[in-house]
Amino acid sequence: MKYRSTRGQVTGQSFESVVLEGLAADGGLYIPEHLPTLPSDWQTQWANLSFAELATELISLFVGDDVSRSDVSALVCKSYSTFSTSEVTPLVSLDGERKTYILELFHGPTFAFKDVALQFLGNLFEFFLERRNRNGGSHKITVVGATSGDTGSAAIYGLRGKKNVEVFILHPEGRVSPIQEAQMTTVLDDNVHNVSVPGTFDDCQDIVKQLFGRPDFKSEHSLGAINSINWARILAQITYYFYSYFTLLRQGGGLPVFVVPSGNFGDVLAGYYAKELGLPVRKLVIATNANDILDRFLKSGKYEKDSGVLATPSPAMDILVSSNFERFLWYLARDYEAGGNADEAGNVIGRWMEQLKTTGSFAVNQAALTAARQTFWSGRCSDQDTYATIAKYHSREPSYLLDPHTAVGVHVAETLREEIDGLGADTICLSTAHPAKFSEAVLKAVNENGGHLDFGSILPPAFIGLLEMPRRCLTCDNSADAVAKLIVDQLSK
């Protein structure tokens, strides 16, 4: 198994190199040079596997000779032993009459879906570095990432205390929830460095990309990526699409439509790869908040930046440009712009990304848009509808408390109910975070819509007293130069 960059200038890379490198030298994102073939009997042989066993089967298809099957199994078991349920990502019924289910992805140590990937990625980093250092080497990695809230805490919990790893996480000042900020900044391990930057998540993400685009700096400090630009993040998330499919079948359900709250496109991209591997998915639904660049693309074929990021009750989705969308665009470029030529597809992606940078937009042709619509539907959810959806399901019997990101997905699923029923499909809405992580939004939704919520009754024990714990956080100007200097200063201590 080899990997190539979406920009076309880097090919033939191993799994180990793409994991440790993160972003390709040409600025592109790594994708497999070809997708593996599932075993012919996967639907029967995998049907009753545990989450860890299923992850081992899927991940082993993508690692080539870089990681043995026994090592994949050990890494997977270690990663998911930190989850509070043996199912790892349980599937629960939200509305039996309408065949709607919630895929709970928040049972990891930081109560967010990103734990599924980042617990694995943290162990994978450590595995590769320890192997490189067995014969007296001194390989280290400096992980640099940006977060709109959940990536940061999940990355920190996945990397804290890891040998030969330093981690720097940039977050936008005042634009993450109090719980999210506390989860990050109360981790006091010596190898963890939180950095608060004035601006937006997109500003933080741009700084990270600029640092990775400086070859000398990247090489000198062995930069590694934990954002979903890292292929291993996407790979690890494919598992829960297969696992929920088998769970649904065991519960008497049919073929699924997956509805995915979407910001940076990584979560739903994993669903796309699951479908391309052969998982019988009827549709993937991209659910956006008011920052709706993906919804607008599916409706018009034009990928266009808005004037700025809007603050919403679902802050992890408050993103102007969805970085992972470039991976999906590569397949559109190859099949509908480049005549099936993989190298030319990289040139097309390069032109599109340059247009986006210089003019704020680019457009795909009608054939490409039609192909995208065959896989994806999309919808948008306003702030008002987010609050109303939380209140609606909390007041029902049985009651279910949605976090604001999950509420976006559930609302969009409701707006597409007729279309989903027309497919004869069941609906699986991905729940990306525990509601306690967004207490202000959840309390506002319930208490201002005629309900009452005793928040202490749903607060995980790990959150009790979290806001009062000692913290450590650095502040930095909003520029790549300033962040680079901060990293150098911290590493020299």
Q: Render pLDDT for 204-217 as a digit per residue (tens, 0 to 9).
A: 999 999 999 999 99
- CA-based nearest residue to 176, from 342, 312, 362: 312
CA–CA dist 207, 213 (Å, integer): 10
What pLDDT, on the 0 to 100 scale, is given for residue 473? Answer: 97
Of the residues 2, 78, 114, 357, only one is catalytic, namely 114
Residue percentage of the chain with pLDDT more than 70: 100
Please tell me which of 216-225, 331-340, 437-446 the model is most confident about, judged by mean pLDDT: 331-340
- Given a contact cutoff of 8 angstroms between Cβ atoms, the answer to whether 126 and 86 are in contact is no
Q: What is the DSSP letter of 313?
A: S
Q: Ramachandran region of residue 224, left (φ > 0), alpha (ψ -120 to 50) or beta?
A: beta
CA–CA dist 368, 10 (Å, integer): 24
What pLDDT, on the 0 to 100 scale, is given for residue 454? Answer: 84
What pLDDT, on the 0 to 100 scale, is given for residue 357? Answer: 93
Residue 456 has pLDDT above 90, yes or no: no
Encode pLDDT of 90-103 as tens digits: 999 998 677 999 99
Residue 493 has pLDDT above 90, yes or no: no
Q: Work out whether strand 30-32 and strand 361-363 pair parallel, antiparallel, or are unpaired.
A: unpaired
Encode pLDDT of 297-314 as tens digits: 999 999 999 888 899 999
For tokens 């081992």, what's the residue? 56
Active site residue 114: yes
Task: Work out the burial of residue 402: count CB atoms within 10 Å of its CB; fewer than 13 is exposed, 13-18 middle, 19 or more buried.
Answer: buried
Per 3-state DSSP, the chain is made up of helix, strand and coil in percentages (nearest 5) of 50, 15, 35
What pLDDT, on the 0 to 100 scale, is given for residue 307? Answer: 80
- To the nearest whole number, what is the mean pLDDT of the chain? 95
- Given a contact cutoff of 8 angstroms between Cβ atoms, the answer to whether 143 and 233 are in contact is no
Q: Which two tokens stand for residue 282?
A: 């009827």
What pLDDT, on the 0 to 100 scale, is given for residue 458? Answer: 82
Contacts of 478 (CB under 8 A, 6+ apart): 197, 198, 199, 203, 207
For tokens 């998915």, what's the residue? 281
Q: Sign of the CA dihedral 397, 400, 404, 405? A: negative
Residue 2 has pLDDT above 90, yes or no: yes
Task: Work out the burial of residue 377: count CB atoms within 10 Å of its CB; fewer than 13 is exposed, 13-18 middle, 19 or more buried.
Answer: buried
CA–CA dist 90, 112 (Å, integer): 13
Question: How confident is residue 126, by pLDDT bands cut at 50, 70 and 90?
Answer: very high
